[in-house]
Chain A
Amino acid sequence: MDFLIDYILIPMVKIGVVFGVISLVVAYLTLLERKVIAFIQVRLGPMRVGPHGLLQPIADGLKLMLKEDIVPAGADRLIFTMAPIMTLIPAFIVFAVIPFGPDFELFGRQVGFFITDLNIGVLYVLAISSIGILGVILGGWASNSKYPLLGALRSAAQMVSYEVALGFSIIGVLLLAGTLSLVEIVEAQRDAGVWYVFLQPVGFVLFFICGVAETNRAPFDLPEAESELVAGFHTEYSGFRFSLFFLAEYASMIVISSMAVTLFWGGWLRPFPGIGALGFLDYIPPFVWFALKVLVFLYLYLWFRASWPRYRYDQLMSLGWRILMPIAIANVIVTAALALALRR
Chain B
Amino acid sequence: MTETRGKSFDMSTDEQTLFDANEVTVSMGPQHPSTHGVLQVRLKLDGEKVMDAECVIGYLHRGVEKLGENQTYGQFVPTLDRMDYIAAVSNCLGYCEAIEKMLEVEAPPRAQYVRVILTELNRISSHLLWLGTHALDIGAMTVFLYCFREREEILKIFENYCGARLTTHVFRIGGLQYELYDGFEDEVRAFVKGFPEKVDEYETLLTENRIWLGRTRDVGVLNKQDAIDMGVTGPCLRASGVEWDIRKSNPYAAYAEFDFDVPTGEHGDTYDRYLVRIEEMRQSNRIVSQAVEKIPGGPIRAKVGKIIKPPVGDVYHSIEAPKGELGYYVVSDGSTQPYRVRVRPPSYVNLQALRQMVIGHMVADVVAVIGTLDIVLGEIDR
Binding site for B on A (CB under 8 A): 37, 40-43, 146, 149, 218-219, 221-222, 225-229, 305-315
* B211 engages A41 (CB within 8 Å): no
Q: Give the chain A neighbours of B367 by CB distance below 8 A.
A: 227-229
Chain B contributes a number of interface residues (CB within 8 A of A) equal to 32
Q: Give the chain B neighbours of A305 by CB distance below 8 A.
A: 141
* A313 engages B138 (CB within 8 Å): no
Q: How far is the CB of B213 from chain A (nearest CB, A)?
A: 10
* B137 engages A227 (CB within 8 Å): yes
Q: Do A313 and B139 form a contact, CB below 8 Å, given A41-B145, A219-B211?
A: no
Partner of B48, one of A40, A41, A219, A313: A313
* A313 engages B214 (CB within 8 Å): no
Closest to A218 in B: B139
> Could you tell me the distance between the alpha carbons of A311 and B146 in the complex, rounded to whole angstroms?
22
* B28 engages A229 (CB within 8 Å): yes
Q: How far is the CB of B257 from chain A (nearest CB, A)?
A: 37
B33 within 8 A of A: yes
Partner of B138, one of A43, A310, A315: A310
State which of B62-70, B84-92, B357-365 sits at the interface with chain A: B357-365
* B214 engages A227 (CB within 8 Å): no
Q: Give the chain A neighbours of B209 by CB distance below 8 A.
A: 308-309
* B212 engages A312 (CB within 8 Å): no
> Could you tell me the distance between the alpha carbons of A23 and B229 in the complex, rounded to whole angstroms?
61
Q: Give the chain B neighbours of A308 by CB distance below 8 A.
A: 139-140, 209, 211
* B362 engages A309 (CB within 8 Å): no
B307 within 8 A of A: no
Binding site for A on B (CB under 8 A): 18, 24, 26, 28, 33-34, 48, 135-142, 144-146, 149, 205-206, 209, 211-212, 214-215, 362-367
Q: Give the chain A neighbours of B212 by CB distance below 8 A.
A: 309
Q: How far is the CB of B39 from chain A (nearest CB, A)?
A: 14
The interface centre, meaning the residue of B48, B363, B364 with most chain A CB atoms within 10 A of its CB, is B364
> Could you tell me the distance between the alpha carbons of A58 and B287 in the complex, rounded to whole angstroms?
52
Q: Give the chain B neighbours of A41 by CB distance below 8 A.
A: 141-142, 144-146
* A315 engages B139 (CB within 8 Å): no
Closest to B206 in A: A309
Q: Give the chain A neighbours of B211 by CB distance below 8 A.
A: 219, 308-311
Q: Give the chain A neighbours of B139 by CB distance below 8 A.
A: 218-219, 221, 225, 227, 308-310
* B142 engages A312 (CB within 8 Å): no
Q: How far is the CB of A231 from chain B (nearest CB, A)?
A: 10
Q: Do A146 and B142 form a contact, CB below 8 Å, given A311-B211, A312-B215?
A: no
Q: Give the chain B neighbours of A315 by CB distance below 8 A.
A: 214-215
Q: How far is the CB of B14 from chain A (nearest CB, A)?
A: 13
* A-B pairs with lowest CB-CB distance, top 4: A310-B139, A41-B145, A309-B139, A309-B140
* A312 engages B364 (CB within 8 Å): yes
The interface centre, meaning the residue of A40, A227, A309 with most chain B CB atoms within 10 A of its CB, is A309
20 A–B contacts from the bound complex (CB under 8 Å): A37-B141, A40-B142, A41-B141, A41-B144, A42-B145, A219-B139, A228-B364, A229-B367, A305-B141, A307-B205, A308-B139, A309-B209, A309-B211, A309-B212, A310-B138, A312-B214, A312-B364, A313-B362, A313-B364, A314-B362
